[in-house]
Amino acid sequence: MPPQVASSALDFVDAIEHNTSKEDVIRLFTKELRLRGFDSFGSAEIPSAARPFAPCLYVSTMPEGWVERYVEMEYVQSDPMARLATMTSTPFRWTEATNAISLDPNEETVMNEICEFGVNEGLVVPIHAHRGYCGAVTFAGGTTDLDPRQLNELYMMSMFAHNRLRALHIADVANDSEPQVQLTPRECECLHWAANGKSDWAISQILKISEHTVHEHVERAKKKYNVSTRVQAIVLAILQGQVRP
């Protein structure tokens, strides 16, 4: 039987499940990361080949001036730490990373500017999820000789915190937006396959329904979106998240 180790990491995982507000996650997570020698953190989606959408910052408690600048200048596009996060799956320190990869001039700028805000070192936890989603949790500060166990605890907590912050963000967006067109599961499936270049005939074979029925499903989806081509219907369905490409 392994020794029973009391850990605030597990308490954190339990606590954020029942805390639905972003502020609660920030407060609890900040307490944990400070215990481990870090000052602040940020959590964001990083644009990747599969999801080249506008970058999305869920939360950042880093110096305010820096966060504003980062968002305004779209630094995520030239942040070497974001680039590296899309390519690796294990946590890495900023200094490790800048030693391991060569930075282009834009990337140098980003790293130099954050130093001006008094942040010289940090830790990045890359997050990879379904359908090519890439995100990261970044910690600013920290001692160079972080205890491996504490690092491991931060790693674990980051995955749970990121998932919660992302879910809260998605819920926020859904609450803000207009009521959506509702497609039936069959309409979604037909558009999904059409988006993948399948003909009505091919879709009818995949879904084991008649070609005519496939056509009807697509026509109904077009009508719901009030558009005249199936490409328009596919684009809207994907943008509204009813169909995943």
Assess 167 for contact with another protein (CB under 8 A).
yes
How many CA atoms does the CB half-sphere of 77 hold within 13 Å?
A: 9
**Near another protein by CB under 8 A: residue from 162, 222, 224, 230:** 162
The alpha carbon of 143 is separated from its chain's Cα centroid by a whole number of angstroms, namely 27
Q: How far apart are CA 70 and CA 57, in angstroms?
A: 10
**Near another protein by CB under 8 A: residue from 160, 168, 214, 236:** 160
| Closest CB 168 distance from another protein, rounded Å | 12
124: helix, coil or strand? strand
From 37-45, 63-71, 115-123, 181-189, give the range in contact with another protein by CB under 8 A.
181-189
Q: How far apart are CA 205 and CA 216, in angstroms?
A: 15
Of residues 37 through 96, those in contact with another protein by CB under 8 A are 89-90
Other C-beta atoms closer than 10 Å to the C-beta of 61 total 17
Nearest to 50 by CA among 126, 121, 133: 133
Show the binding pattern over residues 188-207: x = contacts another protein (CB under 8 A), - = does not: xx--x---------------
Where do contacts with another protein occur on this chain (CB under 8 A)? 1-2, 4-5, 7, 9-10, 13-14, 17, 89-90, 127-131, 135, 149, 152-153, 155-156, 159-160, 162-163, 167, 185-186, 188-189, 192, 244
